[in-house]
Amino acid sequence: MKRQLFVICAATAIAAVSFLQVGCDREVSKSQSSSMSRDGTVKSKEKTVTQSPDGTVTKTEESKTTPPGNR
């Protein structure tokens, strides 16, 4: 009886771990760059490429401008 309960618990744990891993995206690449202009404004760019478990590739690009004195 105890052995059956152990086997059921182990099988449930293994199944739960596999379901948790399926939903995660994998980060393929990430790059960041920033530049400062003459007036002190900082421009930052971040590019990220992720791949989902079904093979879909998503590219995300974020840009941010910080005026002088706000750093």
Residue 6 in domain = no
The residue range of the domain holding 56 is 25-71
CB count within 10 Å of CB 46 equals 14
Q: Indicate whether 10 belongs to any domain.
A: no
Whether residue 15 is contained in a domain is answered as: no
What is the 3-class SS of the chain, one letter each residue?
A: CHHHHHHHHHHHHHHHHHHHHHCCCEEEEEEEEEEECCCCCEEEEEEEEEECCCCCEEEEEEEEEECCCCC
Q: Whole-prediction pTM value? A: 0.54
pLDDT in tens, 14-65: 766 655 555 677 888 999 999 988 888 999 999 999 998 888 999 999 999 9
- Residue 7 falls within a domain, yes or no? no
8 Å CB contact between 23 and 53: yes
**Amino acid (1-letter code) at residue 29:** S
